[in-house]
Amino acid sequence: MSQPQPTLSVQLISFSSEDQPDWAPLLDHGRAADAAGVDRLIVSDHIAFGEDLDAYGDPKQGGTAGGKQPTGPDGHWLEPLTLLSFVAAQTTSVRLQTGILLAALRRPAVLAKTAATLDVLSGGRLDIGVGVGWQRAEYEAAGLDFDARGRQLNETLEICRALWTSRAASYDGEAANFSGIHARPKPVGPAGVPVWVSGRINRPVLDRMVRFGTGWIPWGDDAADPRPGAEAIRAALAAAGRETDDIAVQGSLPAVRDGDGQLQIEPTMAGVPALVDAGITDFKVPMRLSGNYDETVEQLTPIVAAFRQAVGRD
């Protein structure tokens, strides 16, 4: 199989440090990205917060060195699958990605149903990006063991895949035990909703990629330069007998900015072909969208055009 066609992604800022009386600008940005030809919209996830957020900056607990949670404990965070359902109803072609979903915090069978429903209603546009997260309090609020979060995520994905792909699904594990279970509608793709695995490169992440992954979302130091991680993933896939050329890898556009901090499109795109050659397939636009629908279309259209030219897309 051939390497995926390079794609361009934009993150929708679905959180706020203050109450938002109107989230309509968020929808404007999603509709504008779709109109401008952006390939993928990304939204993040948090269910709840404790009051100690230092773990966000601690790689040992799953955070990223020097990182700071952007809203504080009283921030407003929209649930991502609900939000993507809202966006899906008012867009036509842009793909919809959780980046990332803390999947283990959801009951697996309910998550499988929710994701399949959204995938079907959007015409097969859903990508589920998953990870283990960094916050102990969030798992405690869900009644789960934070120290077992990797195993819980794997079991969640196992159950989702069984329900997505089997006419009569069976599963025997700690999270659930069932047989002869019928769950429809199935996702549009025969393998189920595409799963993107997030994390810094380590043995659990490599194993999760081999078992479930269609794409990798780098985290921590690996996000700054995903190329070594992409090589490690492809080596692990090859060792397991899986195809490697069709695996997607997410990275940021190599932003070049002027003295006022504005993105310089042409110099930024000059760095893209080398990253494509190194195995990066999906590029996040390193900017926070602002303005109304028309302004956002005007902002994104030249970026999309320049990106497609840089990667040889029509």
Instruction: Summarize pLDDT for 153-175 with one digit per residue, the tens.
Output: 999 999 999 999 999 999 999 99
Does 142 score more than 70 pLDDT? Answer: yes
Distance CA 115, CA 112 (A): 5
Please give the residue that has the higher pLDDT: either 66 or 50. Answer: 50
Across the chain, what does the average pLDDT equal?
Answer: 95
**pLDDT higher than 50, residue 273:** yes
Cα 203 from chain centroid (whole Å)? 20
**What pLDDT shows up at residue 150?**
97
The pLDDT of residue 1 is 42
What pLDDT, on a 0 to 100 scale, did the predictor assign at position 260? 87
Distance in angstroms (rounded) separating the CA atoms of residues 209 and 283: 19
Q: What average pLDDT does this structure show over 97-105? A: 98
pLDDT tens-digit readout, 202-240: 999 999 999 999 999 999 989 999 999 999 999 999 999
240-264 tens-digit pLDDT? 999 998 899 999 999 999 998 899 9
Average pLDDT over residues 104-130: 98
Per-residue pLDDT at 58:
86
Assign 2 a pLDDT band (cuts: 50, 70, 90): low
Stated pTM of the model: 0.95
Nearest Cα neighbor of 39 from 133, 167, 125 is 125
Q: What is the pLDDT of residue 307?
A: 97
User: Alpha-carbon distance 246 to 282, whole Å?
Assistant: 12
pLDDT given for residue 290 in this prediction: 85
What CATH number belongs to 7-311? 3.20.20.30
Residue type at position 247? I
- Amino acid identity, position 308: R
Q: How far apart are CA 241 and CA 2, in angstroms?
A: 16
Distance of alpha carbon 142 from alpha carbon 169, whole angstroms: 26
Q: What angle do CA 118, 6, 266 make, to 5 degrees?
A: 120
Q: Are 41 and 27 a contacting pair, CB within 8 Å?
A: no
